[in-house]
Amino acid sequence: MADIMIPEIGDIPAFEKIALKESDWRNGVVVRTPNWLGDAVMAIPAMLQLKKIVPDYCGMFVVTPAPLAALFEALPFVDQVVPLKDAHAFMSRSEKKLVHGLNAGIGVLFNNSFRDALSLKFCKIPKLFGANARFRKALLHRTFDFPPRLDFVLNKPHQAAKYLSIVQAMGASPWDGVMPEFSEQVYPETLPESIAAALNTDRPILALAAGAAYGSGKRWHTGSFREVCRRKLGEGCRIVMLGGKSERAAAAEIINGLDEKECFNLAGETGIHELIYVLKHASGCLANDSGVMHLAAAAGTPGVAPFGPTDPVATSPLSDKWRIVFEKRSCSPCFKRVCPYGTKACFDPVTPELVCQALKSVMRKKN
């Protein structure tokens, strides 16, 4: 039987401190975020702590894929966001011109890309910091060595701990475990009719994200999601399905035949601002190891995540309001996008009964 675990970030790797002068910052710091929503959320604590050591007259400038721009626009401590049209290519001439014009003295890369390190060099940022990866050591002022990820074992440190270790070496203080509040100014002034209808209830709302952009291997069994929905409906909850456009059909399959008045499929209908708004109004969230899981935790929504082929030690949500349901098996974590055996047997010990038990322990009452 799987265990129900409270996620924790664990120890932060310690590196030799870097001596930075006030003049090193020039006009501020550029942060190149990860490309995936979940990884980007896990970088937020490090960005928050980094902002605290940036001189008051300097800015924090975020370079990020365009689909993630709204996430960082929602953070009050971010001064400017530079969205990248194609995050998997070199910056365009206009993007490089914009970043160069920020006159930042320091750049921090929370990804492992050689291309992005070279792009920031072209933007004339004197001092770059980031992980030692993909032959980019010569481009960075200081690099940080982390152990390689290994299959079939639980890997430390947590991804967020890696990001925090970089900024702590730069002089940032330890993170207190509290995520920053998203600015309410980014919430939509007028909600789409479908979202307004889904939230218009006195029932507790269970937000459910059954997808995972990384691949089908991460997705808990459809029948198990459906059984949780059936049980929570019986307990008086409303179900609101979340996810991307490509996950709409799968979401519809889960709630097909259940109470239509209390099941709403919003998959593909929410941008990041709307998604944060829905999660803020939910009493709880059930999500695979995914971007929605991390965003819900950052928004303060309690929840439960079934883990199978991925590593709860390295990528658990950053909230003690969440519970992980997981059993270590000989074939997991394998990190495969698709189960090589076609069974996803690593999820078999994660039963609807255990998930419902975990949800009951964390879901908050309807305000």
CATH 3.60.110.10 correct for 9-169: no
Residue labelled with tokens 């941008």: 271
Distance of alpha carbon 232 from alpha carbon 224, whole angstroms: 12
How would residue 367 be classed by pLDDT, with cut points 50, 70 and 90? low
Residue-level pLDDT at 314: 98
pLDDT digits over 7-29, tens only? Answer: 999 999 999 999 999 999 999 99
Apex CA 321: angle with CA 359 and CA 148, to 5°?
105
- Which secondary-structure segment (H or E) carries 205? strand 205-209
DSSP 3-state assignment of 286?
A: strand
Domain 187-362 in this protein, CATH class:
alpha beta
Domains 9-169 and 187-362 share a fold: yes
pLDDT digits over 153-163, tens only? Answer: 999 999 999 99
Given a contact cutoff of 8 angstroms between Cβ atoms, the answer to whether 277 and 188 are in contact is: yes
Spell out the domain ranges in the chain.
Answer: 9-169, 187-362
pLDDT digits over 284-297, tens only? Answer: 999 999 999 999 99
Distance of alpha carbon 4 from alpha carbon 352, whole angstroms: 12
**What tokens does 122 get?**
């072209």
Contacts of 219 (CB under 8 A, 6+ apart): 210, 211, 212, 250, 288, 344
Q: Is the dihedral of CA 288, 148, 111, 340 positive or negative?
A: negative
- Which secondary-structure segment (H or E) carries 142? strand 142-144
pLDDT digits over 58-79, tens only? Answer: 999 999 999 999 999 999 999 9
Mean pLDDT of the chain: 96
pLDDT digits over 338-366, tens only? Answer: 999 999 999 999 999 999 999 999 998 76
Q: Quickly list H helices, the chain.
A: 37-42, 44-51, 69-73, 93-101, 114-122, 159-169, 193-199, 222-234, 248-255, 272-281, 291-298, 312-315, 352-362
Distance of alpha carbon 171 from alpha carbon 126, whole angstroms: 18
* Entry pTM: 0.96
